[in-house]
Amino acid sequence: MSIKVKIVNDPVYGFIRFPEPELVRVIDHPWFQRLRNIKQMGLAQLVYPGAVHTRFAHSLGACHLMGKALDELKAKGIIPGKDECLAARLAALLHDVGHAPFSHSLEEELVGISHETLSRIIMRRMDTEFGGMLEKAIDVFDHSASPPALSKGDGARYLHQLVSSQLDVDRMDYLNRDSFYTGVSEGVIGYDRILQMLTVRNNELMVEEKGVHSVEKFIIARRLMYWQVYLHKTVLGAEMLLINIFKRAKELVRQGIELFASPALNYFLKRHLTEDDFIKDPEHLIKFCELDDNDVMVSIKVWQTHEDKVLSKLSKMLILRKLYKVVLSSENLAGILGDKKEQAKSLLGLTDEEVPYFAFSGITSNSTYNINDELIKIETKSGIIKNITEIDDSLVNQTLARAVHKNYICFITPNSALEELTF
């Protein structure tokens, strides 16, 4: 039986093709199909109702952009071989396969280890299942982890950079896709032009000098998306609420209190696992791969009527979209937190131990361009290689390179006033 070429109609890029049978096998795997039920932007849909797209679509998109990048490099005579191309496409396809439900928000509270680590574990498990088909893809994905000198796949360093760096297909796809689905045009990037300007020198990915402006635009688009979308204060508040719900739920389970949950969710409510655990006992991973956003949402819906006041109140706040009031500021907010705690205490009749669920502070930060990370390299017309920050009149300078930290406090009010621009 011949497996046909898969063609997907993607609203962002149009028809995209997956002619490689290896890709099709991965896409059809239940662990990849699971990504259909994990929203790319988690709770951001509470502010941007259009943004309900999935990690499944994002992963296909990243794999598609990888294909376009490789085509460009081939056209320039940089000849990644057929095997390397397939490996890079597979790595792009699988880069997010280890995401927990609601991605970043819950990975620490619910699972305990990072999605990158889980992606790696899943890829290895799938590789065994597929008889070594993913070996090279894992090399591409893992590259940065190994000390450069010993790395076996040194010739393909740029492939790893395409999968994971400050200018990778992951970021290119998510900026485009998230802009498309939120309707925030600020995030649209000229990915076509960036791809066209990619080149390779000494096995490192770089950008031709005439592409500098497009890269600047890319970095700034990312910055704007952070402040306007990803760290939007209402989204931040919703994510903190979700985290608190699970913190409380796990605490109750620890105390032996019964909670409604799907079998897979129940499994994780009862455990706190380490990377080691996952490696030793394959059952953990199997359970993990049964989890998706639906388990989380159904449980929270049921928990609205749980007898624990904290859990039921928090759950109601999320389901009815009566979120925390959030203040986000570059100034220190400690001064007003005390009042907010008192207010919460009296509003809901809380104990001291319960108050922090309803009034608390934190710090959020965002580096648009991290100068401690691997830098974006530019090849000038005269063949000299510079970091993008060294280019004359580059926008990617101190301002952008400095991480921006903001303080926030979350609390409840008598009115639970709704935020603007949100439902």
Q: Which is nearer to its own copies, 201 or 402 (CB)?
A: 402
Closer to its own copies by CB, 145 or 421: give it: 421
* Closest of 230, 224, 164 to residue 189, by C-alpha: 224
For residue 30, the minimal CB distance to its own copies (Å) is: 5
- Six token digits for residue 318: 């999320």
Chain centroid to CA 80: 28
Instruction: For its own copies, give the closer residue by CB, 224 or 348.
Output: 224
User: At 363, which amino acid appears?
Assistant: I
- Which helix (H) or strand (E) segment holds residue 90: the answer is helix 82-94
Residue 130 per-residue DSSP state? T
Q: Least separation, in Å, of the C-beta of 331 and its own copies?
A: 10
Nearer to its own copies, 164 or 299 (CB): 299
Nearer to its own copies, 98 or 190 (CB): 190
Residue with smaller CB distance to its own copies, 42 or 190: 190
| Residue 217 one-letter amino acid | K
Q: Please answer whether residues 35 and 54 qualify as being in contact, where contact means their C-beta atoms are separated by less than 8 angstroms.
A: yes
Instruction: Report in angstroms how near the CB of residue 12 gets to its own copies at its nearest.
Output: 7
Nearer to its own copies, 274 or 294 (CB): 294
Pair type for strands 14-18 and 6-10: antiparallel
Residues near 293 by Cβ (< 8 Å), separated by ≥ 6?
A: 37, 38, 39, 101, 102
Q: Name the token pair of 150.
A: 């010993």
CB of 401 to its own copies, least distance (A): 12
Sheet containing strand 404-411, edge to edge, reads 325-329, 404-411, 359-366
Cβ proximity to its own copies, 114 vs 262, nearer residue? 262
Rounded to the nearest whole angstrom, what is the least distance from the CB of residue 340 to its own copies in the complex? 18
How far apart, in whole angstroms, are the C-alpha atoms of residue 10 and residue 193?
Answer: 20
Q: CB 116 → its own copies: shortest distance, Å?
A: 24
Q: Measured on CA atoms in the order 282, 284, 287, 292, is the torsion positive or negative?
A: negative
Cα gap 212→158, rounded to integer Å: 18
Shortest Cβ distance from residue 6 to its own copies (Å)?
7
Per the document, the length of the chain is 423
Q: How far apart are CA 54 and CA 283, in angstroms?
A: 26
Helix, strand or coil for residue 411? strand
Between residues 307 and 352, which has the closer beta carbon with respect to its own copies? 307
| Least distance (Å) between residue 282 CB and its own copies | 17
Amino acid at position 32, single letter: F
Q: Which amino acid appears at position 337 of this protein?
A: L
Q: How many CB atoms lie within 10 A of CB 364?
A: 16
Shortest Cβ 4–its own copies spacing (Å)? 5
**Closest distance to its own copies from the beta carbon of 5 (Å):** 8
> How many CB atoms lie under 10 A from the CB of residue 216?
18
Q: Which is nearer to its own copies, 9 or 255 (CB)?
A: 9
